Chains A and B, each alone.
Chain A
């Protein structure tokens, strides 16, 4: 336990050092790959359409629900959600499997508010996720330092590097080997999950990282995992670790 904590701190230190030395960090976020016009759209809170959903999320945050007749705000202080999106997925206390941010919100929905869970990709769940994630904007991605996550993350890495689908490609074939090049009209990004949930112009709506990953899976003609599948959480654990130290820009705009 103590040893892994020391190793964990060492990794953080090395990652920070690599960035401080400048030029060494070759990582680029999807934001950096966007045109200046789209970057301005994202940066302006009255032009970024995702902010409409944040506004709706704030209203939901204050709305009482379920048999407990409690609102999120009744249990969570203002500011208590700062940094939460930067370290998820994590293992909730009393559980043995990681959940993503949406999953964690639904745990409070069922366990604390005693209400029915929101459907995956429902507007309410995305609104709340956007409202919570917005509060980590500008903070570095800092995955939970929990040794129990290692095996899930390793599974995510394996999924990322394994060829699949009728095109027989791995995520890494595009996002590691060919990032920065063009695929049709799109620039292949390095696939860092800095901005979720995102307002994707192609969707004309806010969507989760799961939805984004499903798009890539369909793109390589693989069968996308079901929304409730643990594969998404494992992939996100790996992607978040790969993006450790990068800045959260949620809720982001993406093409």
Chain B
């Protein structure tokens, strides 16, 4: 089970700009750090984060090893219609996580 926290308003007025915030538990291991045994710890990062609103992509972000652990992303979107905003994270080692919120546009 993915451990994510999403913050979005439940109801908004049509045309309003809203802030969406998403936080996920992930080590974002850079691949450049030696572990206790002197060997490099293999890279394990989230490579891509996307958000869709009723299936239409509204945000996409590529992540790099320079992003800190437990990445927190905040961005803005214009509310057009009621529905589901889905957040998706994918990365190394077939990592895949999802979270979603329902937003009512009035």
**B7 engages A56 (CB within 8 Å):** no
Once A46-B21, A46-B23, A47-B23 are accepted as A-B contacts, the answer to whether A55 and B69 lie under 8 Å apart by CB is no
Q: Which of A49, A59, A204, A205 contacts B23 (CB 8 A)?
A: A49
Chain A residues with Cβ below 8 Å from B7 are: 44, 46-47
Chain B residues with Cβ below 8 Å from A53 are: 25
Chain A residues with Cβ below 8 Å from B6 are: 46
Q: Which of B5, B21, B28, B68 contacts A52 (CB 8 A)?
A: B5
Q: Mark A46-90, 1 if CB is under 8 A from B, else 0.
A: 110101110110010000000000000000000000000000000
Contacting residues of chain B (60-106) with chain A, CB-CB under 8 angstroms? 68-70, 72
Chain B residues with Cβ below 8 Å from A201 are: 68
Once A52-B5, A55-B3, A55-B5 are accepted as A-B contacts, the answer to whether A205 and B21 lie under 8 Å apart by CB is no
B28 — nearest CB in chain A belongs to which residue? Answer: A204
Bound: A53/B70 CA distance, A: 11
How many pairs of residues, A versus B, come closer than 8 Å at their CB atoms? 38
**B25 engages A52 (CB within 8 Å):** yes
Q: Does A45 contact B (CB under 8 A)?
A: yes
**Which of under 10, 10 to 19, 20 to 34, or 35 or more describes the interface residues of A?**
10 to 19
Chain A residues with Cβ below 8 Å from B23 are: 46-47, 49, 51-52
Chain B residues with Cβ below 8 Å from A44 are: 7
Q: Mark B1-19, 1 if CB is under 8 A from A, else 0.
A: 1011111000000000000
A206 to chain B, nearest CB (A): 10
Could you list 20 A-B pairs, sorted by A, with CB under 8 Å? Answer: A44-B7, A45-B5, A46-B5, A46-B7, A46-B21, A47-B23, A47-B72, A49-B23, A51-B5, A52-B3, A52-B23, A52-B24, A53-B25, A55-B3, A55-B5, A56-B3, A201-B68, A204-B28, A205-B69, A205-B70
Taking A46-B23, A204-B69 as given, write out 4 further A-B residue pairs in contact, using a Cβ cutoff of 8 Å, ordered by the A residue number. Answer: A52-B5, A52-B25, A204-B68, A205-B70
- Residues of B bordering A, CB below 8 Å: 1, 3-7, 21, 23-25, 28, 68-70, 72
